[in-house]
Amino acid sequence: MNRLKKEVEHVKSLYPNALYIGIADGANSNWNFLEKHTTKHLIDFYHVSEYLSKTAEAAFPKKADKQNRIKWLKDKCHQLKHEKNAALEIVGELKRLSRKSELRKEIKENLSSAITYFTNRIPRMNYWEHVENNLPIGSGVTEAACKTLVKQRLCCSGMRWKNKGAKIVLSLRALIQTKGRWQQFWSKIDQYGILC
């Protein structure tokens, strides 16, 4: 985390007037870091839509209602993206759905989980504002970068890594795949030498 903090500080020194947006799932550890380094905060839209998808069956519990569930989910996602206070309205709807007596235990548990998730994160669900200002609402680009940088190199069949070896390989891979960093690395070596 210290290394990431230094990278963030370096980028901020290069672009002091940029808007820094923290987008993550609901884990507190993410927000403990992001709140210190970003101006705007948003729960990743994909994670929120996953919670919503598990509640669609409460709105339309019959097996024959699959198309209605799909439409309901699509409408709720659209509402979240384009309407102010949509998260609060959706929580109200989920609470009303949870009072249905004929719902199976699993559906009630999914509703309860979604209500808690939404209620605790409403301040970080202003998607309409981000969409209106052409700002990102998901962390997909970052997750794809992690997949390209880490998963493709460290998670091949039969591979096992110790922390030190993985750290070295990933450091070199990050230098190579980030424009200008490989040259920057060698400039520092030329300037200061190798510290062992």
Which tens digits make up the pLDDT trace of 37-52?
999 999 999 999 999 9
> In the structure, what pLDDT confidence band is assigned to residue 195 with cuts at 50, 70 and 90?
low
Judge whether 179 lies within some domain.
yes
pTM of this structure? 0.74
Q: Are 51 and 117 in contact (CB under 8 A)?
A: yes
Are 128 and 48 contained in the same domain?
Answer: yes
Q: Look up the domain containing 187 and give its range.
A: 161-196
127 with 165, same domain: the answer is: no
Q: Residue 158: left if φ>0, alpha if ψ -120 to 50, beta else—which one?
A: left
Q: Indicate the residue among 80, 113, 132 that finishes a domain.
A: 132
- Same domain? For 55 and 117 the reply is yes
Contact 53, 117 (CB under 8 A): no
Residue 87 placed within a domain: yes
Is residue 102 domain-shared with residue 58, that is, in the same domain? yes
**Other CB atoms within 10 A of residue 34 CB:** 19
Average pLDDT, the chain: 90
Check whether residue 126 and residue 57 sit in a common domain: yes
Q: Which of 47, 72, 17 is nearest to 124 (CA)?
A: 47
Domain count, the chain: 2
Domain annotation covers residue 147: no
Domain-embedded: residue 16: no
Residues 122 and 48 in one domain: yes
> What pLDDT shows up at residue 20?
93
pLDDT, residue 196, reads: 54
Domain assignment present for residue 177? The answer is yes
Q: Are residues 116 and 193 in the same domain?
A: no
Residue whose token pair is 């680009």: 141
Check whether residue 55 and residue 102 sit in a common domain: yes
| pLDDT tens-digit readout, 65-106 | 999 999 999 999 999 999 999 999 999 999 999 998 888 999
Give Cβ neighbours of residue 132 (< 8 Å, ≥ 6 apart): none
Note whether 87 and 125 are same-domain residues. Answer: yes
